[in-house]
Amino acid sequence: MAVPQGSQIALYLPRAFFADSWSVSVPSKNITAMTLYIESMRRMPGWANALMQLRNNIWATVGLKNLGSFKEILHVKHACDYIKGDRVGIFTVVSNEHHEVVLEDCDKHLNVRVSFYINDLGDQSHIAVTTVVHVKNWLGRLYMIPVFPIHKLILWRSMAQIRAIYKSQ
């Protein structure tokens, strides 16, 4: 796992229970990290939203909050207008810069932080999606058991969506 150098998500790596970073190189476009996040969530397949709904139903019985679905993103603002504390889909904005957006969801069981990072390299952009999780108790650890393999599927799909977004722009 290589977190992009200069990424704000690196601040959350110490003592993480789980962390991973997936990346892809695509032709450069003038696109913000928040736009990339919003568009990749909007294009999330039905099976991923069905799994999120299942997660919400099962885990609500033991105190985890309902996060909604990946596609619950109302594009009422321009991507650069989202500020710290704004809810965007299942996450809340920590920071929103042109080249990186950091989002989180924190509760009494775990803290999840996600970064969409764009490193423009002339005619190519290196895109990294990084997730960092800190668990706070045994329920957070239990929750992560089924999440590990599902997370990999969803991130793999997100990277495919990023490729599609860059081809369609």
pTM for the full predicted model: 0.87
> For residues 50 and 91, which has the higher predicted lDDT (pLDDT)?
91
Angle of CA points 87, 40, 125, to nearest 5°: 110
Kind plus residue range of the DSSP H or E element containing 124: strand 124-135
For the chain, the domains span 8-168
Q: Which pLDDT tens digit goes with each residue over 2-30? A: 888 899 999 999 999 999 999 998 988 88
**Does CATH number 3.90.1200.10 belong to domain 8-168?**
no
Beta carbons within 8 Å of 49's beta carbon, 6+ residues apart: 69, 70, 71
Q: At 132, is the pLDDT very low, low, confident or very high (cuts 50, 70, 90)? A: very high
Q: Which pLDDT tens digit goes with each residue over 46-90? A: 777 677 777 767 777 776 676 665 666 655 678 888 899 998 887
Beta carbons within 8 Å of 94's beta carbon, 6+ residues apart: 8, 84, 102, 103, 104, 113
